[in-house]
Structure 1
């Protein structure tokens, strides 16, 4: 169910991590190595990135497979950034939402992606919508589980939660309402990356000149990739990585 990656570090072309590596996100769209649910991520893709001096990211999203977009290689070759989030999508259910359902979702400086599925969607998450104002429900970009999960996370961010707390509290709340869900979240504002490992794979790699990549799976065979344990919250900056256990709420 989807593959995604976030990066913080020195400015580089998007293609340096998405296209050029032997197992980059483009290849993961049709040949992921560590995806346990689904086989092909062909239901759309997206990338969001930050330009110098502008805290609000730009996004490029399509409903076609990433390999079927003739414009993406040029975009990835010339767009340079020090922070981005990108994803390829394997839809939980068929829908007509098109590119609106493709991550990254956005609000203000934030970019968000979900790798996984909400068990029993949509009925299982219906009770959680009570915390959302009607205008926010009516403003959802798409009618998919990821869009609603993003609404729950972004509500917490609007209320002042730190990114790690917003993700961790949402994961445990959703896991209680829909046991068996896979809830690997990825969130960035261009300065910090927060991510959860809950039911699917998550890896991170620190690099030279204070860089970090957090991804569903490694894009190469470098030995400096580390797998994040299941039920774990990751919060990282260019200089530091913190891992904290996530626990299900008591019954």
Structure 2
């Protein structure tokens, strides 16, 4: 789940909504794994002015191997801070060990990155992919997940200059390596990326049967649709949420992102564009 908009406490979406991230960690109806109890992470950009001389806002990250539903620190931190843009991820380990450095989101300078899905046959192509990572970036890989290697490939291919092109190039590199190793469908998943200002949410898989991905409709429209919904008072007009499963059962609140699409969300709203279509 990712949020961008007027600053709010992350707990408003992680804990306090109908189908919260905390609830999804115990029961994920649309997920490949029903229970996501192998750790979690929260990454958030602070409110206020940019935090370095280049005018960039750098995020903070809190990650743990505890199940999200069992971590009191998550409850405390998510209520104590406010943020205009934050990521949350709950993990079901698909092979790499349960350790803090394998929990999403991953961070580099002012960038956050997380992934719901997997690179199939990753152990067969891990060395080939890692060898393509810029040597100056390689030391930043602290864990053993496919996601962290994918992130560093995207950084290598120019994430800071063009996120959509860089993520696309990283995925094509994965597919090329997978093809060489005889892996039929190497790439699966949805990806969220942010530089602290814009949020990019990708839905793509080699097979064309990707994990689910949704984002919220604009808040002014939702207020017209549900004029008595007091919960909408928590959010400003620019609030936007990206999530793997809808956080509420109210019709029309969440819009599905189509296959092979990237949703781009910023203070002006959102738009979709095609991504790696065959």
TM-score by length of 1: 0.89
Determine if contact 1:22/1:220 at 8 Å carries over to the other structure.
yes
Determine if contact 2:96/2:144 at 8 Å carries over to the other structure.
no
1:128 aligns with: 129
1:48 and 1:243, CA in 2 relative to 1: closer, same or farther beyond 3 A? same
**1:47 & 1:111 partners in 2: Cα distance?**
10
**1:203 & 1:101 partners in 2: Cα distance?**
25
The counterpart of 2:36, out of the listed 33, 41, 50, is 41
Q: C-alpha displacement at 1:18, in angstroms?
A: 0.9
Determine if contact 1:164/1:195 at 8 Å carries over to the other structure.
no
1:77 and 1:125, CA in 2 relative to 1: closer, same or farther beyond 3 A? same
Task: Structure 1 unaligned segments of length 5 or more: list them.
Answer: none
2:61 aligns with: 59
Q: C-alpha displacement at 1:138, in angstroms?
A: 4.3
**1:197 & 1:47 partners in 2: Cα distance?**
21
**2:129 & 2:43 partners in 1: Cα distance?**
28
Matched, 1:8 2:37: no
Matched, 1:18 2:14: yes
Q: C-alpha displacement at 1:230, in angstroms?
A: 1.4
C-alpha distance after superposition, 1:140-166 (max 9, x if no partner): 1101111111111222346x4312222
Determine if contact 1:13/1:77 at 8 Å carries over to the other structure.
yes
1:221 aligns with: 249
Deviates more, 1:42-51 or 1:123-132: 123-132
2:234 aligns with: none
Say what the alpha-carbon RMSD is for the aligned residues.
Answer: 1.8
Q: C-alpha displacement at 1:135, in angstroms?
A: 5.2
**1:128 & 1:143 partners in 2: Cα distance?**
13
Q: Which has the greater radius of gyration? A: 2
